[in-house]
Chain A
């Protein structure tokens, strides 16, 4: 039997597993990225990959996390809603820094706009996320093949954050 298929009930029809289809997709695409790995399997960055656009994206990612810290400090009642999003930005910064073979920049603080109430704080964050999503989208289109998936995932995460902030 073909790997990834199994027989369906009475009809005897081969039924490809929905999740196995996507797993096969990942395996197929992953094979193409192996050339970018070093002897021990770690991905290395090349000088040409570390563009100003990506280092700017990394700095802006750190700043986004700091903006959420400022928002939570300003409106503590939003902590449950915002902490996961803040942590996602921190995870993005770590992953991006690792991919670029650089250290995570130290945050220089946040200049979160908006008033002291929840609606204006959420609106200010939504504005930052929109800008951040667009920047990550552009960076993904310009990125090397090795970095495109990570940067694209960051753009997608920011689009999802906007759903939570609305």
Chain B
């Protein structure tokens, strides 16, 4: 009895999961396939899955008019620096909250946590005015510095660091190490998985961020990928082919990185959430 039932269940489950899997990746496949179709074929009512007349002209046009590589490099640069900043600040603040005892610690931590709840729309306008007032408009420091601290990051790292046995820290102190050394040599190393989690989150968020770079960056050459994609689509609304190609440009590199580091991504996310 068990065998028949189990096989049936297994098969049904398998079919369902594969079906959902297909639904999951179908848009990507369709996008890539369409990007190789010439425009007249794209607008046909009766589509075939694979292009009847594959072409790379869409990519040529997109590359010519949509400064993809530039945007991509810019985005990598900014996302990387923001991530590094957040990793450092979250770890050090997490350490202070986790291992030190001082007056107001709990209140301060709750306040830091509560910053996660503030919707972007409340602060973005004044921040914009502030940046203007500082004279930082159209600079990358305006993109990086205001994001250097993250309530979420501090929360995450605090949870992790709390799990580090006090004994190790005390041992180092007895050995004569000062706090700076302890932090940089020991804590950092032991918080690796926490750091990996926040790094991934932060990188992804920054990579996707649209509004802030849109407002701050004026010079087209400095622009980031999401904004570039949006303005490109605004200008070339009918050139579906090159729009598809540009979108592929925006998505495929992320996928490549994801496939290379998928384990770290998923483990990092999972472990951080469980601890949270």
A binds B: no
Which residues from chain B sit less than 8 Å from chain A, CB to CB?
none
> Which A residues contact B (CB, under 8 angstroms)?
none
